[in-house]
Structure 1
Amino acid sequence: MDQITFLTEILLPALMSGLIVTLQLIAFSAPFGLLLGIGVAVGRQYGGSILSPVCKVFVYLIKGTPLLLLLIILYFGLPSIGITFSAFTASVIGFILCNGAYNSEYIRGAILSIKDGQMVAAQALGMTRMQAIRNIVLPQALIRAIPGLSNEFIYLIKYSSLAYMLTVIELSGAGKLVATKYFAYTESFMIVGIVYLGLVTITTVAVNLLEKQLAVPGMTRRESSALQL
């Protein structure tokens, strides 16, 4: 079998099938990971004496547990207590938990950067605490957290390769199957790497455009420096 036939008829179709699964993993995990991160960050910062420690313990446990171990527990461990997930579902749940925990740290850091006077001013205008958080604090915090959140999204793209350990045939898993069957490791994993690089590049460009779109005049470091001059 010549190289062109191998690439066009075997490797690329297999990788395309794996890429679709990878994109599905990301599409299901990223939005819920962001929502979980927002909830945990707000709960940790404003949750009081009960919710705040719970959120802190959640972040501590997830950050201290290797993602692969978490996936193994979800897929292989929980059935022993009667909780069973499909390999895809277990992967998505693991990615959401991990992504949410790290997102919460980026968002919490951004929340801490918002001056307390804004909360006081919002409440002085008649807003409740939750209204002030939702309408004043969070919009600013999410904009400031975009660089960190984008990094975590890029990590999520790479995390998705661990789903293969639960028998989910995503991009890297498809590449490994082809490489093992045809002993074409260099070609297979080189193209897999190129595809991951493409996904990361697209994400980076999209985030840069989003930052420019949401930038508040006078709030960026470059504009602030220009104003000082």
Structure 2
Amino acid sequence: MSIFTLAVEAFPQLVQGVIATLRLMVLSFLLAIVLALPIALARMSRSHVLKVAAHTYVEVVRGMPSLTLLFLIYFGLPSFGVTLSAVDAAIFGLGLNGAAYVSEIYRAGIQAIDDGQREAAQMVGLRRWQVMRYVVLPQALRIVIPPLANFSISLLKDTSVASLISAPEMMLQARDLTSEYFMPLQIYTIIGVMYLLMALPLSFLARQLARHLSVRSPEETVYSNGKV
């Protein structure tokens, strides 16, 4: 059987794997970007407790393989009476893992904003949270969007580890197809091409965002919006 014939016959299962992989990536990405902001703000807060707690979380999670975190969630939480499905455990695990990395992207973007703008905003009467909301975060957003697009590519590839807890994504479909057709080289070649086809648009988007968002400086964006 040729690789083309194999791809045609296995097409329904491959499509199911693609849909499951994209769903897993999108939900994990959303969880990561939501959790990452309070973590980043905690690392820059004046509270020593918050700062230490956020720093500890980031260092522990970044130093731990994502697969280990998935195993702890999927196999460990039932010991405490919490049982998650393979998909939910994968989303939760990849989201928590991603939040540690995205928080550093946020922190770098926020710290890239000149302190003079914060001081100027406070001089016109804005409170600290207002300075962050109306002055710092809108500018930091332009800085962090391209790295976030690159992070989504890494997350897409990281979803492959979810097959080890039986989440029905592409690698699990590949394993099932291998046991059915006994053509591992051809099947994993097809899977590799499919990952590439999904990653290429994200890579193109990241480049376009980086090019577009570098046209104007962050200061021009804020002043044109009338925030300061």
Same fold (TM > 0.5): yes
CA deviations over 1:137-186 (Å, ceiling 9, x no partner): 12222221233222221111011111111111201211121123211112
Residue in structure 2 matched with residue 190 of structure 1 by the alignment: 189
Residue in structure 1 matched with residue 85 of structure 2 by the alignment: 86
Alignment of 1:4-15 (within 5 A): 4-9=4-9, 11-15=10-14
Alignment of 1:161-200 (within 5 A): 161-200=160-199
| Separation in 2, partners of 1:83, 1:123 | 46
Residue in structure 1 matched with residue 35 of structure 2 by the alignment: 36
| Separation in 2, partners of 1:62, 1:47 | 23
Structure 1 unaligned blocks of 5 or more: 220-229
RMSD of aligned C-alpha atoms?
Answer: 1.8
Residue in structure 2 matched with residue 76 of structure 1 by the alignment: 75
Residue 48 of structure 1, CA deviation: 2.2
TM-score (structure 1 length as normaliser): 0.88
Q: For residue 7 of structure 2, what is the amino acid of its counterpart?
A: L
Change (3 A) 1:114 1:4: closer
**Does 1:145 find its partner at 2:144?**
yes
User: What is the aligned-residue identity percentage?
Assistant: 35
Q: For residue 8 of structure 1, what is the amino acid of its counterpart?
A: V
Residue in structure 2 matched with residue 225 of structure 1 by the alignment: none
Residue in structure 2 matched with residue 55 of structure 1 by the alignment: 54
Residue in structure 1 matched with residue 110 of structure 2 by the alignment: 111
TM-score (structure 2 length as normaliser): 0.89
Residue in structure 2 matched with residue 224 of structure 1 by the alignment: none
Residue 46 of structure 1, CA deviation: 2.5
CA deviations over 1:4-26 (Å, ceiling 9, x no partner): 543212x2221111111001101
| Separation in 2, partners of 1:71, 1:109 | 27
Residue in structure 1 matched with residue 202 of structure 2 by the alignment: 203
Structure 2 unaligned blocks of 5 or more: 219-228
Change (3 A) 1:152 1:4: closer
| Separation in 2, partners of 1:214, 1:134 | 20
| Separation in 1, partners of 2:208, 2:47 | 37
Aligned residues: 218
Q: For residue 8 of structure 2, what is the amino acid of its counterpart?
A: T
